[in-house]
Amino acid sequence: MLRLSLITATYNAAKNLPFLVESLLNQSDMDFEWVVADGGSNDQTLSYLKGISGINLLLSEQQDFGIYDALNRAIALSSGDYYIVLGADDRLYSHAVQAFKLAASKSHYDIVTARVDSDYGVMRAGSGKPCVRGQLAYISNHSVGTMIKKNLHDRFGYYSRRFPITADQYFIKRVCDAEDTLIHQADFVAGYYPTTGVSGADIPGTMTEFFRVQLETERYPVLQILLFIARLIRHMPKLIRYAKNKQMDKF
């Protein structure tokens, strides 16, 4: 029987966690473990997590070097054959665990990806080409929408600390670029992913790290440089607003 772990990194997330927990308690299939790696929260996060019942919860409390360091710790502690990453402010629809398991049981897939609701509409798998879209050419979204076989980390390593914002993109891109990786694009909506996290807020950081990921995983660096310049031009208004907001924060 397929074993599934849900993985969450937390830090001062007490105000968001109740909504995620409610979505987990409402799963039609409760046969999963939830591994939470907390990076030293000083709000009510830990006391809230320790008071949860009805979920097979494994909590790790330890200082870390950011979200991907915490996720690596949670993955190492997990016992599932597969795992799904969930942010503290994400939601998993009630059928998701069951649907992911059913999809994976049909074959020995390495990755199962489903659609995801977001503030900008439905995120779908297989959008565009890897040289342009990166991991989104293969999956809908790393968080909420993708179930990953744990033993892939034995071959491709864990999430790299060289990419504090886009380590998921670097890992998924390398896995999916491999010719023998089996990917299944499932026909269901797994949950809701808000766009208020670091990758959505730190526009220059996200763009720069994505560029680095593409340089390291794509064959033609000149093309990636041209695409990066095109992205800078396209997102110029957002970058200017970001810079102005940061300057105002100093006063």
- What residue spans define the domains of the chain? 4-197
Q: What is the CATH code of the structural domain delimited by 4-197?
A: 3.90.550.10
Dist CA 111 CA 138 (whole Å): 9
Q: Is 125 helix (H, G, I), strand (E, B) or coil?
A: coil
Would you say residue 199 has pLDDT above 80?
A: no
Judge whether 150 and 158 are in contact, CB under 8 Å. Answer: no
The Cα 158–Cα 177 span in angstroms is 16
CA 170, distance to chain mean position in Å, is: 12
Instruction: Give the predicted TM-score (pTM) of the model.
Output: 0.93
Residue 242's identity, in one-letter code, is Y
pLDDT for 1 equals 82
pLDDT (average), residues 213-236: 96
Q: Residues 77-108: pLDDT tens digits?
A: 999 999 999 999 999 999 999 999 999 988 88
Please give the pLDDT value at position 250.
62
User: Could you tell me which of 94, 91, 64, 75 has the C-alpha nearest to residue 36?
Assistant: 75
Residue type, 216: E
**pLDDT above 80 for 242:** yes
Name 185's Cβ contacts closer than 8 Å, sequence gap at least 6. 113, 114, 125, 126
Calpha distance 204→232 (Å, rounded): 9
Side chain identity at 156, as an amino acid letter? F
Greatest mean pLDDT among 156-170, 184-198, 230-244? 156-170
